[in-house]
Amino acid sequence: MEEILNAIGPILILIGVGFAAAALKVLPADAGATLSRYLFYFSMPFLIFSNIYAAKPEDVANTRFLIGYFLTLCLSAVLGLMIFGWGFGLRRSTLIVQVMGGFYANATYVGVPVCLLTVGSAIPPLLILLVQTIIFLPLISALLDFQSIGKSSLSLGGVLKILAVNPILMAGVCALGFRLIGFQVPVFLVHGADLLGKPAMTVGLFSLGYTCYLPEAKGFRRRDFLMATVAAAQKVILQPLAALWIGTRVVGLTGWWVKSLVVCAALPCAVNAFVLSQRYQAAENESKLTLMFSTVLFLIVMTAALPFLS
């Protein structure tokens, strides 16, 4: 219990500090929106660039694990589309953000310490971080860009322009391109990108707490709580069950790697979904609640499962 709380506790503290800052009016009223723009245009792109550029060939050696996690996220995304699209009637950007909250994992701040505790290695969360940052985060960001404009505006030139000005997508493309062609980025630039990217999760969680302090007119609705509860249950309970089935039946993982895949699949929602919800003004309340609910649910589930994982 103490080890899991040590991993989850700092996240809850950062959210609480952000909420207190808003309640005490320490910062301007629009500080949450300003912080979210900073995260989207600066910190998150550099974080993605650093993560992808720092990846070594040996880090992605277990292709079955990578494929297993990729398929797990795909299955979870389809399930989310059915639940929130058909069940709750969400559409367009709101649907995309809410589905993301049901499958996108906190691989760093929670994943690394929890995997060190349960499976004795930080390799699995780093592998899922690559899957998420190389494939899913740029794809989701691009889809949200497409949804933010009218269909009549979608021409080849318009699509290319949207992709070119998306900082998250371009950061991933540049880092992956440099790796593939063997281009060596000067060390001082790599360190600069790393410094710009490091505050992303801390600022994101603070901003989450800050924007959770809402005026009465914009308060949380019962529907928001219901969707967040469903997304949290999908993320922490259903997704690891899907990972167990895919890992053993589809990609043929065994032993330690199966346990690692299941633990990684159960990780709570990452702050990235909240950042995108603020940037595109979609599912803002739901994304805040999903992050908090999934984190608390993960604490409960992992505490109960820890004796079986150790």
Sequence-distant (6+) residues with CB within 8 A of 258 are 244, 247, 248
- Residue 117: is its pLDDT beyond 90? no
- What digits encode the pLDDT tens for the residues 85-100? 999 999 889 999 999 9
Q: How far apart are CA 267 and CA 191, in angstroms?
A: 28
Sequence-distant (6+) residues with CB within 8 A of 241 are none
- What digits encode the pLDDT tens for the residues 127-168? 898 889 888 988 898 888 888 765 544 555 655 666 666 787
Q: How far apart are CA 101 and CA 181, in angstroms?
A: 34
Per-residue pLDDT at 166: 72
- Residue 113: is its pLDDT beyond 50? yes
Per-residue pLDDT at 163: 64
- Residue 67: is its pLDDT beyond 70? yes
Sequence-distant (6+) residues with CB within 8 A of 222 are none
Per-residue pLDDT at 152: 44
- What digits encode the pLDDT tens for the residues 5-19? 776 778 788 888 988
Spatial CA neighbour of 120 closest among 300, 306, 260? 260
- What digits encode the pLDDT tens for the residues 253-298? 988 899 999 999 999 998 889 888 988 888 888 998 998 899 889 9
